[in-house]
A and B are shown apart, each in its own frame.
Chain A
Amino acid sequence: MQGFVQQITRGARAAVAIAAVALVVFAFGWRGYRWITKKSDADGRTVIRVLHWGDKGEDDIVRRLVEDFEQLPENKDVKVLRINLGQAALVRTKLQTMFAAGDPPDVFYLGLENVSDLARKNLLADVESLIADDKARNIPTVNLDDFFPAVVKCFRVEESTGQVGRGKLVGLPKDFTTVGFYYNKDLFKRAGVPEPSPTGWTWEEFITAARAIAKLPGCYGADFVSWEQMVRIYCWTHHIDFASPGWSQPYHFNDPLLHEPLKKLQDWFHAEKRTLVSAKTQLETMQEPFLAGNVGMTGPYGRWKAPIFQQIDSFDWDLAPLPQVKGLEPRNGVFTVAWGIAQAGKHKSESWRFVKYLAGARGQALMADAGLAIPVLRKVAEAAVEAERTKQPKNAGVFLTAADHAEPTDFPPDPEFQQQLRVGLEEIFKLGRPIESVLKRVEREWTENSRRADVATDERVVPWVAVISGVAIPMGLIVAVVGVLWWRNRPRGGDLAEEVAGMGMISPWVIGFMAFTAFPVLLSLVLSFCRWSSLTTLEHAQFVGWDNFRSLFARDATFYRALRATTWYAILTVPTGQIAALIAAMLMNRESRWMGVFRSIWYLPGVLAGVGMAVMWKWVFHHEHGLMKAVLDPILPAALHMPACFEKDAEAWGVPAFAFINLWAIGGTMMIYLAGLKGIPKDLYEAAAIDGALGWKRFRNVTLPMLSPVLFFNFIMAIIGSFQVFTQAYVMTGGGPGHSTRFYVVYLYNQAFDFHEMGYSSAMAWLLLLIILTLTLIVMKGTKRFVYYEALKS
């Protein structure tokens, strides 16, 4: 039997080894094949790089567009290289690194959320001047009159302020949508409420229908997407906005006219059970509640939802226009994406030719096929709606009529404003905080921001030559002096050979350290005294002295909140993680064939990474449909119930939930403890047994001291790790709702990659380094007495 098992194990190992070798051979072979076949299709054509996003459906469209474009005889000299990153947020990160390096893509998707930011830094080509050039040279060109005016307006930006709505045209719209509500016809019938009229209805009718449907067993009135743009459009229908056009001052945050509709919406969310639920969180947990058939309405959504709802066959549905306020002119919002051309691009004329093709009738018709959005050319759009008369939604024309009274859903020009507003609205609609105080804070933050932006306009360009020589010359001198001293005191004979060999053999690390660590770290140290928007190149950095550190400590409330959340996380996660790992290791410290299987299983979650895991955990903690709720609610006493960790109760439970999730990552620590336990000599235990020490006593007097160096190592690693907590929180909550899970590095990442404040974030990174260093030193000093280093000598 034993032999048989061994043979199988050996056979399996051999199979794995062979498979691995085969895969490696295949990989190199495939790459080689691709490399050989690739040479033939580059052949001297101009390559333009196109950066876009989108899932499979959208990717197919862009691919088809590119192929079609390349086939046209006049484009024989152009090759389009597509870069698709799937998610819009990834495209923005990528775009930023490319701009920062002075190497932008030629053509890219330009969303409303970063159009003013990019335009303000003068990074986008002027479309109208390209059109004028064409006209001067008598080349067929784009006629802006064919476009929906509301859509073109979205990409006119005042370059000095970043305000959207007028000024230079910085992108050519690709497609757009307005919003409405998708509704379940069957539920309306069952609840006995009249269906919304395709020509318009009011919020009163909307909420009456939602309440009636919520009364049906197991049904929800409506799923309302509380994205800040959607809430803004809701306010627009009440003819009020958060700020003046283009997000300029005066702000209306303290206007009772704004508070009133918001209060109404907040009450629908919180005071009436099941009338209105937040659709946003359900989206993130990957379910589409509308498909289940027990949700009356869902929205405000644009055209992009139609393809997925077309799969529905269990009930009848349609599209309703956005509800309005009785007696007021209707309002709606435009969601749109444009093709932007980089001002600094090297192949502007080819890029423009490509964009022109995309905006032409042929490109637009191809795009309309996907049905995710509406073509920007009025004629093509109308034809598309006409052609799809038979398809659902029957009322698709609603999207087009709304375009006549729709406004750009532009974002505040400064991305930091965007986040502060989003945080405020999350606090109102998810955490149920009082509207007045939250909005008052947002206004204070905004005023603070604009003051900071005004102060930092004095041009003090960093003297890079002086900085670099100021670092390089002393460094060079030190190296030279050390070298000379070394040579003078060099040992003789065999010792010299050994010294040379030793230094030679550590030189890989030393060189790597200088190139890949020391240089970037020094650069970031310099940057922490600068203000540098990473959308521009390094020459534009301005020296600001201690300003970054001063505003961190004196003004930045979010910084303190992030620090507090991180400390709280560290306090929770370090002991629980260590204790759990130690217990698991002690359980596994026995001789059995099965232990190998257990070890592997316990380590398994460490291997599972990426988007899939984030989706799963969100579902586990979901406040309505989550696994934890389903399991715990029946067990817990009636007064207690599972808190909504990433929703209403996030303030108290968000951080603990992450600490809990961290227990799935103890595998690595556990392995190290296990190894430490195995290293304790058996005779020590035997001696202890003779002295009568068993159980707790034995653990306290033998295991713990012998394990103390390992314990110490793991403890320090855990502290460092917990202060650097990032990926899980960034992917799952992005720091929200509110600021409740905004850990230090999440905020640092926000500053660097969302607000583009590289200087500020470098200052934060250095501060984090100091914090970690101090903590480590304190722990080292404090535990000196308890660590039994003799254990190492066994």
Chain B
Amino acid sequence: MSNRMRNLGAVALLVLGSVGMIFPFWWMLVTSLSTPAEASSSGSASTFNWLPSDPQWHNYYDALKRMGSRPWYGFLDALSNTIIITTLCVVGQIVSCSLVGYSFAKLRFRGREATFILMIATMMLPAQVTMIPLFIMFRSFGWIDTMAPLVVPLFFGTPFFIFMFRQFFAQVPEALIEAARIDGCGHVRIWAQIMLPICKPVIAITAIFTFIGVWNDFLGPLIYLQSEENMTLAVALNSFQNTYGDFREAHFLMAASIVTMIPCIVLFFTAQKQFVSGLSMGAVKG
């Protein structure tokens, strides 16, 4: 088999897979553009329109306007809450994880190995174990119906990303740090001025993973937030589902879902190069 043939075969397989991977998105897109009658029949393979014959673009306008109890306010509130929470989380995650990761990688102190193993072990905890105790705790802090329970924990670092930063920093030559020390730099300055600028790929991964995770988080906002003006998009989407769990407004649900996903998709498409190089530089040397 010639090289060319093999390449062609690979590309064919990739294209085939891509069709499968894109299919859910396509289905949502088509449903979001259909009329109410079409939407309620798009649950059947025989009546599903693969190409919308008469795309109802105004569904998007209507869906966003209808979110929440005051026209537009519901959507704008949810959008800005989600953006603020996500931004704070991403910043907190990067700062705390890189700081802790640097310390684990480059500073010698007793108990370092033991702490590191403990940290790795906590990655195995099922989240359900801590859910109710955490709620009781946050309530005693008076944090219910505020962003704090969603944001503050991320300023204390997450094992997975600390681990990635550590793996990356471990590869940085000692000599670089020695040189900085001789010039009189403290560790905090080394971290801020030397380490952070060279670990952009790991920062990119942390940012993307955190962004997608926080943006789509459902259970957290559901439990900790209460009033409509503090809600996030992932929870606000549920207003298109009715009491009995059936969908009278499937086309609106899908339209709003797609708008919600756009930032994640755009972010991923623009940053994927950084992302892959970041993974190959540090993360995987596990």
Contact = CB atoms under 8 A, between A and B. Distances in A.
Partners in one complex: yes
A590 B60 CA distance: 39
Interface in A514-541: 515-517, 519-521, 523-524, 527, 534, 538
Please report whether the interface of chain B is mostly helix, strand, loop or mixed according to DSSP. Answer: helix
5 contacts: A55-B239, A286-B42, A287-B40, A513-B122, A610-B234
A671 B228 CA distance: 37
Given A520-B130, A520-B137, A792-B285, 16 more contacts: A16-B266, A24-B84, A58-B242, A501-B188, A502-B187, A520-B133, A584-B14, A587-B13, A598-B14, A600-B268, A604-B25, A607-B261, A611-B238, A622-B43, A629-B45, A674-B276
B210 interface: no
B112 interface: yes
A501 B107 contact: yes
Interface in A598-617: 598-613, 615-616
A53 B243 contact: yes
Contact of B216 (A610, A631, A748, A752): A610
B199 interface: no
Most buried by B among A94, A627, A675, A713: A675
Contacts of B39: 286
Contacts of B83: 23-24, 26-27
A678 B121 CA distance: 28
Given A56-B240, A749-B128, A752-B128, A498 B107 contact: yes
B176 interface: no
Contact of B135 (A89, A101, A598, A664): A101
Interface stretch (A149-157, A424-432, A446-454, A768-776): A768-776
Contact of B108 (A499, A523, A713): A499
B2 interface: no
Interface in B233-284: 234-235, 237-250, 253-254, 257, 260-261, 263-270, 272-273, 275-276, 279-280, 283-284
Contact of B186 (A28, A60, A501): A501
A199 interface: no
A509 interface: yes
Given A517-B130, A607-B265, A664-B24, A31 B136 contact: no
Interface string A66-102: 0000000000000001111111111001100100111
A287 B157 CA distance: 44
Contacts of B188: 501, 505
A616 B126 contact: no
Contacts of A508: 96, 99-100, 155-157
Given A520-B134, A772-B124, A609 B216 contact: yes
Most buried by A among B41, B47, B80, B243: B243
A81 B272 CA distance: 43
B156 to A, nearest CB: 2
A588 interface: yes
A308 B79 contact: no
B168 interface: no
Nearest to A100: B132
A600 B14 CA distance: 12
Nearest to A93: B222
A13 interface: yes
A192 interface: no
Given A101-B136, A502-B112, A610-B237, A603 B272 contact: yes
A63 interface: yes
A675 B276 contact: yes
A83 B228 contact: yes
B108 A498 contact: yes
B135 A516 contact: no
A433 B191 CA distance: 65
Contacts of A285: 43
A338 to B, nearest CB: 14
B36 interface: yes
Please report whether the interface of chain A is mostly helix, strand, loop or mixed according to DSSP. Answer: helix
Interface in B187-244: 187-188, 191, 212, 216, 218, 222-223, 226-229, 234-235, 237-244
Most buried by A among B121, B130, B264, B265: B130
Interface in B1-28: 7, 10-11, 13-14, 17-18, 20-22, 24-25, 27-28
A60 B66 CA distance: 10
Contact of B84 (A31, A498, A588, A671): A31
B234 A292 contact: no
B129 A524 contact: yes
Nearest to A517: B122
A607 B212 contact: yes
Interface of B: 7, 10-11, 13-14, 17-18, 20-22, 24-25, 27-28, 36-37, 39-48, 66, 69, 76-77, 79-81, 83-84, 87, 96, 99-100, 102-104, 107-112, 115, 118-119, 121-126, 128-137, 139, 144, 153, 155-157, 159, 162, 186-188, 191, 212, 216, 218, 222-223, 226-229, 234-235, 237-250, 253-254, 257, 260-261, 263-270, 272-273, 275-276, 279-280, 283-286
A26 B272 CA distance: 26
Contacts of A83: 226-228
Interface stretch (A269-277, A469-477, A759-767): A759-767
A661 B219 CA distance: 22
A534 B135 CA distance: 12
- How many interface residues does chain A have, given as a range? 35 or more
A502 B108 contact: yes
Contacts of B187: 498, 501-502, 505
A476 to B, nearest CB: 18
B45 A590 contact: no
Contacts of A26: 80, 83
Contact of A605 (B24, B131, B162, B276): B24
A166 interface: no
Closest 7 CB pairs of A and B: A512-B156, A502-B107, A287-B43, A675-B279, A505-B103, A520-B133, A675-B280
A596 B108 contact: no
A596 B14 CA distance: 12
B227 A81 contact: yes
Interface of A: 12-13, 16, 23-24, 26-28, 30-31, 34, 38, 49, 53-56, 58-60, 63, 81-90, 93-94, 97, 100-103, 282-288, 291-292, 304, 308, 311, 486, 495, 498-499, 501-503, 505-506, 508-513, 515-517, 519-521, 523-524, 527, 534, 538, 584, 587-588, 590, 594, 596, 598-613, 615-616, 619, 622, 625-627, 629-631, 664, 671-672, 674-676, 678-679, 709-710, 712-713, 720, 724, 726, 745, 748-749, 752, 758, 761-762, 765-766, 768-769, 772-773, 776, 792
Given A31-B80, A87-B243, A587-B10, A49 B132 contact: no
B123 to A, nearest CB: 8
Nearest to B218: A610
Nearest to A292: B41
Contacts of A772: 124, 126
A499 B143 CA distance: 35
Contacts of A584: 14, 17
Contacts of A600: 268-269, 272
Nearest to A532: B132
Contacts of A765: 126, 128-129
Contacts of A16: 266-267, 270
Nearest to B159: A509
A516 B138 CA distance: 10
Contacts of B81: 27, 31
Nearest to A720: B124
A602 B132 contact: no
A634 B236 CA distance: 41
A285 B41 CA distance: 10
Contacts of B79: 27
A76 B266 CA distance: 48
A506 B130 CA distance: 22
Given A88-B243, A610-B237, A664-B21, A287 B44 contact: yes
